Amino acid sequence: MLDRRTLFSSLTGFTTAIGSIFGSREAIAAKPSFKGDLDPRGTVGRLERLPTLDLESQQDFLTGFRKDMGRAFRRVGSQRMAALFEAKGLDAFSDPSIETILEIAENDHILGMHVRTWVSMQQFTWSTIQEVLYRDPEKYLAELEAADNAGPGTLELNPDMDLPDHVKHEIHIMPGGFVGDPLGGYVYHYGTNNFSIGRNNQDEISIGFANATPVPSTPTPNGRPLRILEVGCTIGRITIALKERFPDAEVWGIDAGGPMVRYAHMRAVDLGVDVNFAQRLAEDTKFEDGYFDVVMSYILHHEMPAEISNQTVNEIHRILRPGGIYFPIDFYTGENKPSPNASQKYRHWWDHRWNNEVWWEEYTDLDLFGAMQKAGFEASEDGPAAWIGRKNLVGTKPV
């Protein structure tokens, strides 16, 4: 195991860097608003700008840093791992065990620096956003409250829900996780913009996933899906995009995180999109049998234990009508298979160990295709290309 003191020694200079703002006054587009809406620095298209220029600059720097790490550091790390294996007379691409990988990599300063800088970047991404929000949290709580009963669309919160342990983890080391920080929706929104290296600032990636979601070939009265659900919707970017694609459909997004769906509803109201959000569990949705034509999820299954993942597949099968479609977009679905090389396995290990990806190891052993077949789906790994340009798993409930 990597030495914790070495791995987590402090780095300096991250939060002092400055970047460029996201757009000019002329680029700020008009959008619907509700009473209590905060636009302290206006909007750029669909994106409300961050409340301070300092925070915007910090996030711009961190986004650029993440982009460089994704290119240079990952390449250097892969080359370093291959060299270390070669020095031991081993092949880094022959599916080595994680025990062998850690024995070779645990004391290497280059690989340690890669992990340390990546984790620091992640920590700064969250903390810089939270620090600004919590200078005046009541302002943002009031904004959420103003939208709670506004329309279009509905919001269902269940504050007395008995939350299972698996939803309480601080996934991606996001302080408070999806359920514990009342302002978590804000933090998640702008933090994941960093994850996508700014390429989802206008929901571009989310819209692409919504547009790639397949629809049943069996007919409905108007030939289009009547009811659509996104499971594990977080802040509802794909859910909103699904409604924009199918404006006549009844569209729902559910997530165990109350702060997530509360923010999702506020944003849908702000955008004027009629979507229903509810705080519910993926494995126990509370919907009636056969209710939906289409259910989709995005990077859901690798964030839950394998047992809950299998329960979720069964639950989705229950709430789909005959002929309905389930489209789970995640790592290792369809053509996107795990690589057996040492560098990739090492990255997954430290993502699990230091980034609180709690169920990575369970997920890599999960047979989602088999679970869908066992639940009763006609499963195919030749579904639409919606995940890094590769085909994806899709399941159809037999008629």
- The stretches of the chain forming alpha helices (DSSP H) are 4-7, 53-68, 74-87, 98-105, 109-133, 137-148, 184-195, 204-212, 237-245, 258-271, 306-319, 342-354, 360-364, 368-375
- pLDDT for 35: 67
Cα 152 to its chain centre, rounded Å, is 25
- Is-cis flag, bond preceding 51, omega within 30? no
With beta carbons less than 8 A apart as the criterion, state whether 338 and 347 touch.
no
Please tell me the distance from the alpha carbon of residue 63 to that of residue 69, in angstroms, as a whole number. Answer: 10
- pLDDT for 193: 96
CATH superfamily of 156-396: Vaccinia Virus protein VP39 (3.40.50.150)
- pLDDT for 61: 95
Please tell me the distance from the alpha carbon of residue 324 to that of residue 110, in angstroms, as a whole number. Answer: 49
The residue ranking higher by pLDDT, 115 or 8, is 115
Residue that has been written with the tokens 């989310």 in this structure: 206
Task: Please name the residues in contact with 121: beta carbons below 8 A apart, sequence gap of 6 or more.
Answer: 14, 62, 65, 66, 69
Q: Where in the chain is the domain with CATH 3.40.50.150?
A: 156-396
Q: Give, in order, the Cα–Cα distances in Å from 3 to each of 26, 101, 237.
A: 51, 15, 39
- pLDDT for 221: 84
Q: What is the chain's length?
A: 399
Whether the per-residue pLDDT at 219 is higher than 90: the answer is no
Query: In the chain, pLDDT over 90 holds for what percent of residues?
Result: 79
Please tell me the distance from the alpha carbon of residue 63 to that of residue 55, in angstroms, as a whole number. Answer: 12
- pLDDT for 33: 57
- pLDDT for 337: 77
Whether the per-residue pLDDT at 8 is higher than 80: the answer is no
Paired residues of 383 in beta bridges: 392
Instruction: For residue range 162-182, list pLDDT tens digits in order.
Output: 999 999 999 999 999 999 999
Q: What is the mean pLDDT of residues 153-170?
A: 96
Identify the band that residue 36 occupies on the pLDDT scale cut at 50, 70 and 90: confident
Q: What is the mean pLDDT of residues 32-53?
A: 84
Identify the band that residue 383 occupies on the pLDDT scale cut at 50, 70 and 90: very high
Whether the per-residue pLDDT at 18 is higher than 60: the answer is no
Please tell me the distance from the alpha carbon of residue 141 to that of residue 133, in angstroms, as a whole number. Answer: 10
- pLDDT for 308: 97
For residue 82, how many C-alpha atoms fall within 13 Å in the half-sphere facing its CB? 10
- pLDDT for 28: 29
Please tell me the distance from the alpha carbon of residue 199 to that of residue 334, in angstroms, as a whole number. Answer: 23
Please tell me the distance from the alpha carbon of residue 238 to that of residue 235, in angstroms, as a whole number. Answer: 9
Q: Is the dihedral of CA 267, 269, 273, 274 positive or negative?
A: positive
Q: What is the signed CA dihedral for 87, 88, 90, 96, rounded to 10 degrees?
A: -120
With beta carbons less than 8 A apart as the criterion, state whether 259 and 178 touch.
yes
Is this structure's pTM higher than 0.85? yes
Residue that has been written with the tokens 């956003």 in this structure: 129
For the chain, the average pLDDT equals 89
Instruction: For residue range 323-381, list pLDDT tens digits in order.
Output: 999 999 998 887 777 788 999 999 999 999 999 999 998 998 899 999 999 999 999 99
- pLDDT for 386: 85
Please tell me the distance from the alpha carbon of residue 150 to that of residue 274, in angstroms, as a whole number. Answer: 11
With beta carbons less than 8 A apart as the criterion, state whether 116 and 3 touch.
no
Residue 96 structure tokens: 């080595």
- pLDDT for 87: 96
SS3 content of the chain, % helix, strand, coil (to 5): 45, 15, 40
Q: What is the mean pLDDT of residues 28-53?
A: 77
Q: What is the mean pLDDT of residues 24-31?
A: 34
Q: Is the dihedral of CA 207, 212, 213, 217 positive or negative?
A: positive
- Exposure b/e, 259-288, CB count within 10 A at least 16 = b: bbbbbbbbbbbbbebbbbbbbbbbbebebe
Whether the per-residue pLDDT at 21 is higher than 70: the answer is no
Q: What is the mean pLDDT of residues 58-82?
A: 90
For residue 229, how many C-alpha atoms fall within 13 Å in the half-sphere facing its CB? 27
